[in-house]
Amino acid sequence: MSKKQTIPDKDFGQIHFMVRRSARNITMRVKENGLHVTTPPYRSITALLNAIAPFREKLLHACAEIKPRPFDLSFSIEAECFRLRLEASPLKNFTVKLKDETVVIACPVTADFTTDRVQALVKNAVMRAMRKKAQDYLPPLVQYWSRQFELPYHKVSISKARSRWGSCSSKKDISLSFYLMLLPVHLMDYVILHELAHTREMNHGPRFWELLNQMTDGKALALRKELHAYRPVF
């Protein structure tokens, strides 16, 4: 099997296989675009499908939980640092406004939420609002923690990445997903501290975790586990 391979599947839509030489076991993770399987080298697709079979029902249950529900006027986001809701409007076009620190997407009363067009319009409006909030909120937070722990960085950029919360390059450029705005504050801080730790330790070796533990009062692994288990509303 090649390093990356995707096959269609009647239950998950797609199964994405990733070969990693450092992997000791087969791991499975459900995402919105299908089932992601990480495997050690030299495993055939048939062998991997046989390994998945006993867990298929449990994985399908997890898949049902993460699939986004369609937007309608009841949709809202009530995160610690980002609040958003939809409301009906007599206007003919969708508009976005800020009201009492809450982003309000005003939707025409004639909007048909069963259509792909309206679903896409609302989704894009939510994403633009979240990006704007992240651009205002996250860079100063990175600067604050950078000064607290004397870990300088080069610059901060905001991305729409969904597969990872953040990253740090060898040039100390930090990229943060605007989906961080959906996290509780303590997990948002953890992601930022994680990336700042990479400005000194670029890998995930013992020295990295020792540094991150110093920055999180010994809670680095517990916070990582909590972050992996967190399921944002959007």
- H-run or E-run covering 213: helix 206-215
Q: At what angle do helices 220-229 and 185-197 cross, to 10 degrees?
A: 120
pLDDT tens for the 234 residues of the chain, in order: 668 899 999 888 899 999 998 888 999 988 877 899 999 998 999 999 999 999 998 888 877 666 667 899 999 999 999 999 999 999 999 999 999 899 999 999 999 999 989 999 999 999 999 999 999 999 999 999 999 999 999 999 999 988 789 999 999 999 999 999 999 999 999 999 999 999 999 999 999 999 999 999 999 999 999 998 887 777
Q: Which two tokens stand for residue 205?
A: 């070796």
pLDDT at 68: 66
pLDDT at 11: 87
**Of 154, 195, 162, 199, which is closest to residue 178 (Cα–Cα)?**
162
> Structure pTM?
0.74
- Please work out, in degrees rounded to the nearest 5, the angle formed at the alpha carbon of residue 161 by the alpha carbons of 160 and 163: 155
Q: Which two tokens stand for residue 54?
A: 């006993």
**Which single residue is written with the structure tokens 């607290």?**
148
DSSP, residue by residue, 10-29:
TTTEEEEEEE-TT--S-EEE
Q: Which residues, 6 or more positions from 193, have their beta carbon under 8 angstroms from its beta carbon? A: 145, 149, 212, 215, 216
pLDDT at 1: 64
DSSP 226: H
- H-run or E-run covering 96: strand 95-99
**What letter represents residue 97's amino acid?**
K
Q: Which domains does the chain have, with CATH numbers?
A: 4-66 (no CATH), 76-130 (no CATH), 134-229 (3.30.2010.10)
pLDDT at 22: 87
CB 26, CB 37: distance < 8 Å: yes
How many angstroms separate the Cα of 11 from the Cα of each of 53, 64, 189? 11, 11, 36
